[in-house]
Structure 1
Amino acid sequence: MRKGMSIRIKILALVIAVVLLPTSMLTYISQKTASDAIKDEIMKSINENTNNIKETVNMFLKTHEENLRSFSQNKSLISFLSSQRRDIGEMLGDLEWFKSLNSDIQSIYVATADKELYIVPEADLPDDFDPTTRVWYTNAVSKNDLIWTDPYLDAAVGNLVITVAIPIYDENNDILGVLGADISLEYMTGIINSFRIDDTGYYILSTNRGKIVTHPQQDKIGQPLATDVLREEAISGEYEGKMVYHYNGEDKYTAYTTIDKTDWKLFGTFNLSEIRKKTNAIVQSSIIATVLLITAGILMGVFLSNPIIRNIKRLVKDMNLIGNGDFTVRSKIRSKDEIGLLVQSLNKMTADLSSTMENIKKMSLDVSMSADSLAASAEESSATTEEISRTITEIVKVTEDQAYSTEDGLKKTTQLAENIQDVSSEIDKIIDVVKESNTLKEKGLNAVIVLKEKSDASNAASDEINSAILEMDKSAEQIGVIVETINNIAAQTNLLSLNASIEAARAGESGRGFAVVADEIRKLAEQSAEASRSIKSLIDNIQAKSKNAVNTVDESKKIIEAQNVAVAETQGAFNDISEMLQSISDNLSSISSLNEVMVGKKNEILSVMEAISASAEETSASTEQISASSVQQAAAIEEVAKTAEHLNILAQKLSEEISKFKIDEK
């Protein structure tokens, strides 16, 4: 016999499984939860910092745009370019003054169509230098508006700069030249590099051609982005996005957005391995806890399994003795668990077997004596049975003829009953259809009433909406008048602030503070004008939509009136249907009553025929059964005699086998 796994091993395996499965699952869930939480926190930080950096860069660019745009409208500058350009010193002084107000400006210059260039600070340029061929000049002229160039390394200073340029117009809106400024990106780069993502993450700013503008590693500035994936995202027209890419053997996550004014891409990137490092501590702690729990479980399993195994071995020994025929054995194991119950059941089974064997021994003697008496009685019964069999055979022939006639009559009566039942079923179906039609009719009438009420409510609501829209249109016209007044005030304020700025510039150092105040007033005036234009656009849009809404409400009222006519016609049709259904229902009630009478008579006839047929069949079957039974009885009596003799022999053998068992003597 093949030996299977022991109980001790099964208990220990169960303990290990009970400990290992929950702890493994808990470890996985904890690691996954922590990983997701850390990743979500980092991604949230990236999104927040990206938005902050984006706002900072946009504000940086916007400030220089507004300053340069304002300076391009400087009257003394326009006057200088429009005249014979005699007072160069005053014009260079204006450039110097503007540069001193903006610490990020590395140089500022004015280029004219006749290839003249006025620059502060003074630069050593070749004699054949043609400013009109420069990208910043040609782009500003072709666009006819302010432009930004891609960042580049300044040849003289060696730092990263970007050029902003704007055309200068005379009073006839003709281009006199181009005003340009080289803006140092050191301040902006410092701000971007000050933002970090965890331990290894950082932010990269690139142009829309994939060229790096800012990077924590200075040697990468001005170089293309390191991977094709990042370059493709920078060049693509996608405004923002996120992805995972592979670089220098590391899986990295990045999220990016677009700087609105220059279409530059701002990337926030970090190593995904940082998340795994932070969650490894959780996994290690869980593994140590699992090993300790498994060790404690094994020790506890061994301690608990020892008494169980010891009792099982004693129980197996007692069961082997009982299996060898000794029913006097009683197990002496004392245990209050399931093994104790098993011992009690074994002892009870042994006692019951001992008692049963004693009874079998006594009954075997009684069986032997009864077998002798049975054999004698069987011989006497055999003769009587043969005489009864002959008489019953004659009775069987008469009952068979009667049964055939009765069965034919029952078949014809049953067919008639089935036809009547079919008629009754069809009548019931028609009644059900009429009832269902009545129900649907009531639902239809109710629905028509509800529809009429809803139509009336819709008509009233349309009138209220129409009145509200007309009131809103009048209010919008009044707001438009107010907005126009605000716009006029903003234009006058802007003009006054510009004149004040020019006068402050002429005043020199003493008017510089007043120039700053005038500039702030100009900005507020421009913002007010922009806001009033936006409000006017919204008011115009509201008035247009109000007119459309009034037309739509009128159309809705026409549709509702047509709907009310259709509802009234539908209600009349439902009333006609109701009268027809009532007439059909009355006729069906009369038919159903007559059918019930016919079904009752059919059932009475069928019951009588079934009773006659059943009686005939029972009589025929009984006679045949008696005839067969008499034949069988004769054979059985003979068999009983043989069996009685064989039973006597078996009883003797049974007595011999029982004597081999050891049982309790009573």
Structure 2
Amino acid sequence: MKIIEAVRKKIWVKFMITLFPILILVTGVIAVQNIRSQITLFTEQVKHESESLALTIEGSIFDALAEGNNDMVRKQFQSLKDRVSGIDVYVFDFNKHITFATSLDNLGKSVDSLVSPKKGIEIITQAVEKGIDKTEPFEEKIEGKMCLTTVMPILNEDRCYHCHGSSRKILGGIMIRNSTDRALAAINKSRITSIQTGIAGLIVIIWVVYLLFQSMINKPVIKVLELAKKLGAGDLSYDLKVKGCNEISHMCMGLNKARENLRQMIIEISSAACTISETASSQAASIEQTGASMEEIAAMSSEININIQHTEKVMHKNIMRSGQSLKALTELTQNINKIESQSDQIFVIIKNIDEIAFQTNLLALNAAIESARAGESGKGFGVVAGEVKTLAQRTADAAKSTQELLHHNMQQVSQAARSVKEINESFSVIIETATEIGEKNTAFSGAISQIVKGLEQISTAVHEIDKKTQQNAAISEELASETKSFKV
């Protein structure tokens, strides 16, 4: 747990944990490249030595073979075996049969039977069939020992024509097998030494990096942390001591400048907080008075709105009553018009009665004349005719009186109709005016309602502003109190 806690909290631990694998990787890559270079160099050296030895053997046995002295060649191979240990040399013909060798047991055998990897057989075949002399050495494991084998072809040159003729271009080949155990042991020893040296160098590098990190990074960071703790505790008087002119020094100078700016800012904030607190208190009182005034205005507006609504109701009732009166006057006008129409009919009837009375009077006059002619016999008829004449005259007089009275009544009715019409028109104007006033009262009432709602919203906003102002005043006082706790 302590290790995990250290990894979480210590920068240098994280840095070293990150750096350590990188250094190991770099050191390992260098060691691997070194070992590969040694192996490559060793292989090239063995190849070069094998090629030189093959050329030397080919040159040394040429004269003996030219004379047909094979025994001399065998002695040379035996001498080579006695003097040089760890090297086997095989000379084989184009059929891959071994003709000369440092190991007499392998004479007459196929060279393919002595080669273990398939790659080696392919290289030998290429050397014999195609005459490829730049073949790569191949590794073998013979009797538990590692060997590096090189194959070179023996070409049919002019000096060989007297024995082998010129039909073949390749006469055979030389195979040289070098034991690499001692060389590989030396390489392994060098490898171990390189690894040990790399580990020691890695430890030294890590230790040096650790010391440099502690001196150049960790100590300044600790000082910066100390400044951060001081700032966290409210102490703005602590100043970092800056040494050198590197990036960390510039960072420390920047932190000092930021601390000084913060100190000046705290002083200004403290002064501004005191001023804001006083201003906010005064503003809160003014806003409170404004809120009270707004409430009074809202109450008065509500009362005005109630009165307007009451007036609107009364106007509506009056308009309804005026409408009813107008309706009654309209009906009265219609009845008067009917009376005028009926009076005209009465005039016609009276005129007919007058004409009937006139005709009756004429008939009575004729009857009187006829009764006078009749003498005594017509005397009774004459009395009746006189009565009829008198009745006709009375009827005519009554009809005339009725006509005059009816004419006078018609004049009165016409005058009443004109008066009713004027009253009707006046009522129409009154109703229109009252309706217009009612509509304006309705619009005014709506406007007053909107004003009341607006005043209520303004009053609510003023109360909210008052609340926020009081909160700001409290925050300003708290801020002023907090800024006093800083050590500047």
TM-score, normalized by length of structure 1? 0.36
TM-score, normalized by length of structure 2? 0.47
